[in-house]
Structure 1
Amino acid sequence: MLKLNVKNETSRLRAVILGTAKSIGPKPTAEEAYDPKSLEHILAGTYPEEEDMVKEMEAVAAVFKKYDVKVYRPEIIEDYNQIFSRDIAFTIDDVLVKANILPEREKELDAIQYVIDQIDPKKVIRPPEEAHIEGGDVMLYNDYIFIGTYRGADYSDWLTARTNQAGIDYIKEQFTHKKIKAFDLNKSKNAKENALHLDCCFQPVGKDKCIIHKEGFRDISEYEWLVNFFGKENCFVITKDEMYHMNSNVFSIAEDVVISEQNFTRLNAWFRENGFTVEEVPYAEIAKQEGLLRCSTMPLIRD
């Protein structure tokens, strides 16, 4: 049996599901794009090649191996994008929450069923259909659960709005011992303005620090709440351009070890100044689909 345990984003990682870029299928058409960044690259003819993305993900797998982390990969579904394992499920404490994802992505859950089968069935839950919530919007910080959402009346018009109030209420009901704090995110058809998930504009790192992007938040007081919570000196504030390249979407193996994209020069220097070991990997091709290291990993066990 797999005994899940995840209480925050940075404790020492022991087991994780890492997505796969194998057999990703034909390049999507503009109509099939789920997010503005993918659309941008489809139209520009710069959409990533499978071979390049497989190499990038193998670089991450190698880092996990180095740190003796148990890695599960989805079973391969022919011609199907299975990179972003964070979207489809997430762990809170010792419970696996299956996400209500876009219906056309349901098969991605089937591909990790062999992992789910190793978990006590009482510890696997799924929100009711009307409750939308994806792993990229759920951020654990010990007693807190931070959740990204979109409170606009036009929620249903946005393919990029992934977590609704019913999703937040569901988490509140299931995890009554946690403090739930929701953040209203900016959604846009312009990739430089769009915060697809909370981890596209914010993420805790280390013991008491965070990466944050002010313009990702629709309500500035919610951004300020986070800055006060972590303390200004502990916040690495990223620019619009850094947000676009997914600087907040790194992944922690431990409080002092982080996997980051090799081109994040300013961020990686800040990490090192603050005593982190930075495992740099190439991930710029995967970033073209508006997801990065946190999006493609789903922790199951942290110490």
Structure 2
Amino acid sequence: MLELNVSDETSKLKVVVLGSATDCGPTPKVAEAYDPKSLEHILAGTYPLEIDMVNEMEAFIKVLEKYDVKVFRPKNIVKCNQIFARDIGFVIGDIFVKSNILPDRERELDAIQYVVDQINPKKVVRPPVEVHIEGGDVMLWNEYIFIGTYKGSDYKDYITARTNKEGVQYIKNLFPDKIVKDFDLVKSKIEARDNALHLDCCFQPVGKDKAIIYKGGFREELDYLFLINLFGKENIFEITRDEMYNMNSNIFSIDSNVVVSEKNFSRLNSWLRENDFFVEEIPYSEIAKQEGLLRCSTLPLIRED
């Protein structure tokens, strides 16, 4: 049995599901694009090749294994993009929440069912159908659960709007002892530089008291200011619009002082090192073309408190 335990984003990682780029299928058609960044690369003829994405994920596995992390991979599904494991489920405390994802991605959940079968069934939940919530929008920080959402009346028109108000309320009901704070995110169907697909595309805690943030990802300045006040201005690395586009906030913590980051994030990686983090740099820029990066590829199951 897997004894689930995740209470924050940065404690020592013990067990994780890492997505897979194998057999991810041909370049999608324009109408099949899930996000504006993928669409941009489909139209430009620069959509990532499977071999490059597989190699990037292999580099990630090597780092995880270097730190003795047990890594599960999804069962292979031919012609299916299974890279972004964070979308399909997430752990809060000792509860595994199966996401209600876009209908044609349901197979991705089936591919990790062998892992879910190792969890006490009483600790596995599936929200009702009207609840939309994905793991990239859910972030744990001590007594807080941060949730990215989109509160626009045109929610249903946005394929990039992944977590609705019913999703926020579901988590509030499921974890009444936590402070659930939602953030209204900027969405765009056509401009990736103005689209915070998930909360981790514009914000992420690192270490014990620091965070990476992109102000322009929040529709309400008060949400941004809440985070500035919570972490303290001196503990925050603010990224630019282009750095958000390149997914600088979507790095991944293996421990409170160990971060896996993209090797081209030179400004961020320098700041991390200046603040006593050990930075494991890997190539991940091809996967980034699909508007997801390191955190998006992972589904942590157990972290040490």
Range of TM-score over shorter length:
over 0.9
- Partner Cα distance (2:7, 2:275) in 1: 23
Alignment pair present for 1:178 and 2:178: yes
Give the deviation of 1:161 after TM superposition: 0.3
- Partner Cα distance (1:24, 1:164) in 2: 28
What's 1:105 paired with? 105
Question: Secondary structure of 2:187's match?
Answer: coil
Question: Secondary structure of 2:194's match?
Answer: coil
* Letter in structure 1 aligned against 2:209: D
* Letter in structure 2 aligned against 1:271: L
Q: C-alpha deviations, 1:188-228, integer Å up to 9, x for none?
A: 12000100000000000000000000000000011001000
- Partner Cα distance (2:23, 2:191) in 1: 29
Alignment map for 1:152-167 (pairs within 5 Å):
152-167=152-167
What's 1:282 paired with? 283
Question: Secondary structure of 1:183's match?
Answer: strand
- Partner Cα distance (2:87, 2:243) in 1: 22
Give the deviation of 1:142 after TM superposition: 1.3
Unaligned stretches of 5+ in structure 2? Answer: none
Question: Secondary structure of 2:193's match?
Answer: coil
Give the deviation of 1:26 after TM superposition: 1.2
Give the deviation of 1:177 after TM superposition: 0.8
- Partner Cα distance (2:107, 2:264) in 1: 33
* Letter in structure 1 aligned against 2:102: L
Q: C-alpha deviations, 1:80-107, integer Å up to 9, x for none?
A: 0000000000000001000000000000
Runs of at least 4 residues off by over 4 Å: none
Question: Secondary structure of 2:9's match?
Answer: coil
- Partner Cα distance (2:32, 2:157) in 1: 16
* Identity %, equivalent residues: 68
Alignment map for 1:20-39 (pairs within 5 Å):
20-39=20-39
What's 1:44 paired with? 44
- Partner Cα distance (2:245, 2:293) in 1: 11
Give the deviation of 1:186 after TM superposition: 0.2
Alignment pair present for 1:203 and 2:204: yes
- Partner Cα distance (2:112, 2:27) in 1: 23
* Letter in structure 1 aligned against 2:42: I
* Letter in structure 2 aligned against 1:196: L
- Partner Cα distance (2:216, 2:83) in 1: 27
Unaligned stretches of 5+ in structure 1? Answer: none
Q: C-alpha deviations, 1:261-289, integer Å up to 9, x for none?
A: 00000000000000000000000000000
- Partner Cα distance (2:105, 2:294) in 1: 19
Alignment map for 1:224-235 (pairs within 5 Å):
224-235=225-236
Question: Secondary structure of 2:288's match?
Answer: helix
- Partner Cα distance (1:124, 1:196) in 2: 25
What's 1:239 paired with? 240
What's 1:78 paired with? 78
- Partner Cα distance (1:63, 1:142) in 2: 26
Question: Secondary structure of 2:96's match?
Answer: strand
Question: Secondary structure of 2:22's match?
Answer: coil
Question: Secondary structure of 1:168's match?
Answer: helix
* Letter in structure 2 aligned against 1:284: S
Give the deviation of 1:56 after TM superposition: 0.1
What's 1:259 paired with? 260
Question: Secondary structure of 1:163's match?
Answer: coil
- Partner Cα distance (2:143, 2:124) in 1: 21
Which TM-score applies when normalising by structure 2? 0.99
